[in-house]
Amino acid sequence: MPESLRRVAAGQFSLGTAEEVRACLEVEDGRPYIALEVCRRTAEGEVAPSGRGLRFPATLLPELKRLVQHVEECLIREGFSDDFQDLAQLRAEREVAFAHPSEREFARLLDFYRIPWEYEPRTFPIQWDAQGNVVESFTPDFYLPEQDLYIELTTRKQSLVTKKNRKLRLFRQHYPEVKLKVFYGKDYRRLLQKYGVQVDTK
């Protein structure tokens, strides 16, 4: 393992008696990557890499989540799901996993005014390495299809806002044609007060 590479085990699951999939967080030159690797079990019970695997920047994690969601929806449509009869049942029983309470309240506000929305529907690459691999990306919180507008809520502490502003600059540089509205903490609280909504924006 190169000196600049640090690996942290994140989990695993069994493919059967002979193989398992292991997930690791790899940090190389200060950048996080997600590594998925198929490993073989030896007769002595040891686990050895098989040479089959996948490694991608952790910034693309939202894309992996969406991919798994699409696979689950495909299984349901094709009649292979043991948990759901159709997509309507899936969506009725499974709530959106919002990353912050402010996002949940914003979604409720949109629902109240019957404004269609999608949560984190797209990830935009914003920085690449010399080989053209994505090393940083930006995923807006909401998309309003009727307005063709992305919404980003930035209500967290200042240190995170500073990082977010850097991403926003890169996003606007690479995607000037994409409409994006950013609500900072003060703007967001003013919006909620206007519509009589109370929310914890810590």
Does the reported pTM lie above 0.75?
no
| Between 54 and 43, residue with greater pLDDT | 54
2 has a pLDDT exceeding 60? no
Residue type, 100: H
Question: What confidence tens digit (pLDDT) does each residue in 163-185 have?
Answer: 888 999 999 999 999 999 998 87
What was the pLDDT predicted at 196?
A: 64
3-state secondary structure of 159: helix
What was the pLDDT predicted at 195?
A: 64
Q: How far is CA 35 from the centre of its chain?
A: 16
Residue type, 148: D
119 has a pLDDT exceeding 70? yes
Which residue carries 């997600």 as its tokens?
A: 34
The Cα–Cα gap between 132 and 101 comes to: 36
Residue 68, classified by CB atoms within 10 Å of its CB into exposed (0-12), middle (13-18) or buried (19+), is exposed
Measured CA distances, 127 to 29, 51, 63, 136, 144 (Å): 15, 28, 16, 5, 25
Is the distance from CB of 28 to CB of 5 less than 8 angstroms?
yes
Please name which of 48, 92, 44, 96 lies closest in space to residue 69, comparing C-alpha atoms. Answer: 96
The region of weakest confidence among 9-13, 44-48, 104-108, 128-132 is: 44-48
Tell me the mean pLDDT in the region 19-28.
93
| Topology classification of domain 96-194 | Endonuclease; Chain A (3.40.960)
Tell me the mean pLDDT in the region 76-102.
85
What was the pLDDT predicted at 43?
A: 75
- Residue 70 parent element (H or E): helix 61-77
Locate 183 and state its tokens.
Answer: 């609500």
Name, of 63-67, 139-143, 159-163, the range with top average pLDDT.
Answer: 139-143
Multiple choice CATH, 5-57, 2.60.120, 3.40.50, 3.30.70, 2.30.31: 2.30.31
202 has a pLDDT exceeding 50? no
Which residue carries 């049942």 as its tokens?
A: 89
146 has a pLDDT exceeding 90? yes
3-state secondary structure of 158: helix
What was the pLDDT predicted at 201?
A: 43
Residue 153, classified by CB atoms within 10 Å of its CB into exposed (0-12), middle (13-18) or buried (19+), is buried
Which residue carries 């995170």 as its tokens?
A: 160
Please name which of 184, 111, 192 lies closest in space to residue 152, comparing C-alpha atoms. Answer: 184
Domain limits of the chain? Answer: 5-57, 96-194
Residue 109, classified by CB atoms within 10 Å of its CB into exposed (0-12), middle (13-18) or buried (19+), is middle
3-state secondary structure of 78: coil
